[in-house]
Structure 1
Amino acid sequence: MKKIILIVAIFLGVTACKTNPFTGKKIMNFYPNSQIFPTAFAQYDQFLGENKVITGTADANRVTKVGQRISSAAERWLTANGYPGYLKDYKWEYNLVDDKTVNAWCMPGGKIVFYTGILPITQSERGIAVVMGHEVAHALADHGAQRMSAGMVQQGLAVAGNIAIKDEKARGAFNQYYGVGSNILGMLPFSRSHETEADRIGLQIMAIAGYDPTEAADLWRRMKANSGGQAPPEFMSTHPSNDTRIANLTAWAPLAKQEAAKFGVVSFR
């Protein structure tokens, strides 16, 4: 078993060679853009074909406008920090979909959807910028590919355990506890770290785009109120708690303004 784990560790060390430009840290990503983007683009087109896309309204135009400003700000930051061409394969698209779900998402490669259900909580262009910055940050940091890579490792270790453990009773115990343990101790913290990272990157990008980053904490206060306090304990969730996010965003807002000032942005919408 130790030999198998060592082989997996060496494999991860070799393959985790891409750098997150916003953190400077190496990331685990087994999927190049050339592999993951075409699939994401096809899934996005299929989703749009199966749902009611709203176009030409003030809300739809606002989502597009904010998205264009956020993606432009991301490109400015990346170019200024030594990553020109980082977004060359991205195909940005911003769509508003008629759905009461309080959600928005960005697929790898820059394909974005806002649901109408989130607009009463965003309330304004600034609120849309908070959500847009967060979702775009997921794409910029390759969080989707990282989650897929982590899932591959989780599966690989499960297979390795079943091969290495010869005793049937011990193997049964391993399978019983591995799924829960690897989820609570591995996958869930991994997901929460991505959400926190996207919050911080998104805050920075929205500020460079000219949107007041202090809006982010206010938006999450509205999110908390909308949830009615119904949320699992943080350690059982894919996301940090609302209170954790509010505290983080409040602390990071002045830093985001300092970063925006490097680009000449000193007043905010």
Structure 2
Amino acid sequence: MSRGLSVLAVLLALAGCGETPTGRSQLALVPEGLMAEMGGDAFAEMRQTRPIERDPAANRLVQCVARELVAAAETRYPEVEMPEAWEVVVFDDPSPNAFALPGGRIGVHTGLLRVAETPDQLAAVIGHEVAHVLADHGNERFTQQLGIKAVLLVVGLVGEGELAGEGLRQALGLGARLGIALPFSRAHEEEADRMGLAIMATAGFDPRQSVALWRNMARAGGGQPPEFLSTHPAHGSRIEALERDMSDAMAAYRNASKTGCAG
């Protein structure tokens, strides 16, 4: 048992070995080249197995918004190493969603285009996904998963007494999920919101539309799981956090050249 706890202590002690663009301590140990390769493989599989939206207007809009945001991200976070190239694909999927993979791969669902009523609202989501890539959240999540599994394996091998065996591993698995994996995931979402707001404002998209977007999401999404069991902040919490950062974002927006991405 002590050996497993020792492994966990080592992992936690290492957690301050790096920082995200916002200054948050981060543990991301997987080589970047490997993360980019895995992201590329996963994205290629999605392109083969999921229907892709062919509507020219939808693709022009998404590509324009993404292009402006990537350029702004390079300006806003010049110290961050950017992917060599960004790949953005619109998938024919009715769910109002988007996602990012390591290496600069972004997927946007057509369902999001029905909830995001303006290019500025679409920029709020894509800017959020660009931020996930810049902050290396995929690497951090993967590192956490590997660490949790390593601790559970060690504890399972050396545990003794009534707590030994499968019951202990299940109990620790639940504790690790609620105590480590989910809070970090919420931290990623909150950090991506904060960075995404700065990116969209720097690109010339109205940051106030991020709040409008999440209000639309709340109406479209119905109920959510309790916030402490969710990897995403509740809509109300997300909107409150965005409004706290709005003053700085508006200052950047007023100094930015406005974009020409038409809806």
Superposed pair shares fold, TM > 0.5: yes
Tell me the CA shift for residue 51 of structure 1: 2.5
Report percent identity of matched pairs: 32
Q: Which moved more, 1:122-131 or 1:90-99?
A: 90-99
Q: Which moved more, 1:46-55 or 1:28-37?
A: 46-55
1:15–1:30 Cα contact (<8 Å) kept? no
The number of residues matched between the two structures is 260
> What one-letter code is carried by the residue in structure 2 that aligns with 1:258?
A
Counterparts of residues 121-160 of structure 1 (less than 5 Å): 121-160=115-154
Gaps of 5+ in 2: none
- 2:6 maps to what in 1? 6
Counterparts of 2:259 and 2:106, CA distance in 1: 24
Counterparts of 1:71 and 1:151, CA distance in 2: 29
- 1:74 maps to what in 2? 73
Pick aligned residue for 2:235 from 236, 239, 242: 242
> What one-letter code is carried by the residue in structure 1 that aligns with 2:31?
P
Tell me the CA shift for residue 177 of structure 1: 1.5
- 2:19 maps to what in 1? 19
1:52–1:98 Cα contact (<8 Å) kept? yes
Counterparts of 1:65 and 1:265, CA distance in 2: 17
Q: Does 1:265 align with 2:259?
A: no
Q: Does 1:51 align with 2:42?
A: no
1:16–1:30 Cα contact (<8 Å) kept? no
Q: 1:34 to 1:49 in 2, by over 3 A?
A: same
Q: 1:56 to 1:223 in 2, by over 3 A?
A: closer
Counterparts of residues 90-105 of structure 1 (less than 5 Å): 90-105=84-99
- 1:208 maps to what in 2? 202
2:152–2:172 Cα contact (<8 Å) kept? yes
Counterparts of 1:164 and 1:11, CA distance in 2: 18
Deviations along 1:177-207, whole A, 9 cap, x unmatched?
A: 1122211122111111111111101001000
1:212–1:268 Cα contact (<8 Å) kept? no
CA root-mean-square deviation: 2.2
SS in 2 for 1:96: strand
For normalisation by structure 1, the TM-score amounts to 0.88
- 1:185 maps to what in 2? 179
For normalisation by structure 2, the TM-score amounts to 0.90
1:137–1:201 Cα contact (<8 Å) kept? yes
Q: Report 1 or 2 for greater relative contact order, CA contacts < 8 Å, sequence distance ≥ 6.
A: 2
Gaps of 5+ in 1: none
Tell me the CA shift for residue 29 of structure 1: 0.7
